[in-house]
Structure 1
Amino acid sequence: MTLNPLKLEYKQIKEDLFKQTEEFLLNGLILFRNLKKK
């Protein structure tokens, strides 16, 4: 069974996007907390 390269690439992009979104949300949360402290 051969893997569809396009499907594989799509999975990779999806994982990268997910990771980026997660980091973005975490940074936003940290920024928001710091703003609230002031």
Structure 2
Amino acid sequence: FCVEAFSLERLRTLSMEEIEKRYETFKLMSQFEVPV
């Protein structure tokens, strides 16, 4: 979010919905399976 506006301005305007959506996206991008 910090690259979307100068300094911390974008963080000040975030909604909980935006944070949750970004978190879910991050989880999907960082999941992987290790074959056993």
Taking structure 1 as the reference length, the TM-score comes to 0.47
Q: Which has the higher contact order (CA 8 A, sep 6+)?
A: 2
* More helix by percentage: 1
